[in-house]
Amino acid sequence: MKVKRYLRLLGIQLKASGLLSLQYRADFFTEGLTSLFWTFTALAPLFVVYSERPNIEGWSFGEALLVVGWFTLLQGILEGAINPSLTGVVEHIRKGTLDFVLLKPADAQFLVSTQRFQPWRAFNVLTGIGLFAYAFTLLGRWPSVTGLLASVLLLGTSTLLLYSLWILTVSAAFFVVRVDNLTYLFTSIFDFARWPSSVFQGVGRGALTMVFTYVIPLALMTTFPAQAMLGRLPPQSLVGAVVGAGLFAWGSRQVWLRSIRRYTSASS
């Protein structure tokens, strides 16, 4: 019953965000086209790097394009479904108005995570799927059914990891109030996810690859799903990604609950 109630609440929030966006249809399509423009601009470094060599750290151009496709798809989810709601939490904490959320008869984390969506970011998701099709056309083959199922599973874990990282970032606002620089830093670091993780093996004797796999798990978000599509992801890595995402989500939930206890409203 509780799940059904929260699903209905999520449906209401999605409908409200969709109606709000459709009030300004010109903005809706302008923002969508702008998103597409920036996506194709972001492909420029890939074309420059691969114009000099056919293969980088075991990744051909078509294979690296799959990683960019996953990055673009997740960027659409991040900026369309995660950022709009969670960036508002920082403002609530700063002004001491989070009380209005905490007093409602529903889980506070769910409410602050679903208060606003930006539907035009769906263009990024569609562009990511288009990049997958183009990449496999270049490779001259298509993913296996097993590879597709594994990548769909990894889409869930990648979204969970992204969301958990943002919950951790937002939770910092309970302690330092201004986390603008922290959110910009997170966005900048996330840009590294557009490259296969093995590309960073030469930096600090592989230390950067370790960081992007186990500390800030960017590799689990884009490189692992691309490897799954190519049929190159070992089963133990798939299991590790699922378990790791679950632990990350559990950890971020505990941090959120502890952070809430530190909150003092504007009236305190």
CA-based max dimension of the chain: 64
What pLDDT is attached to residue 239? Answer: 93
What pLDDT is attached to residue 204? Answer: 65
E strand spans, the chain: 55-56, 59-60
What pLDDT is attached to residue 265? Answer: 62
Specify the higher pLDDT residue, 76 or 100.
76
Specify the higher pLDDT residue, 145 or 27.
145
Instruction: Give the integer Cα–Cα distance in Å for 76 and 127.
Output: 9
What pLDDT is attached to residue 219? Answer: 86
Instruction: Give the integer Cα–Cα distance in Å for 170 and 183.
Output: 8
At 44-76, the pLDDT tens digits run 788 887 877 778 888 888 899 999 999 989 988
DSSP helix/strand/coil, 65: helix
Residue 263 scores a pLDDT above 70: yes
| Residue 56: strand pairing partners | 59
User: What is the Cβ-side half-sphere exposure of residue 100, based on CA atoms within 13 angstroms?
Assistant: 11
Residue 137 scores a pLDDT above 70: yes
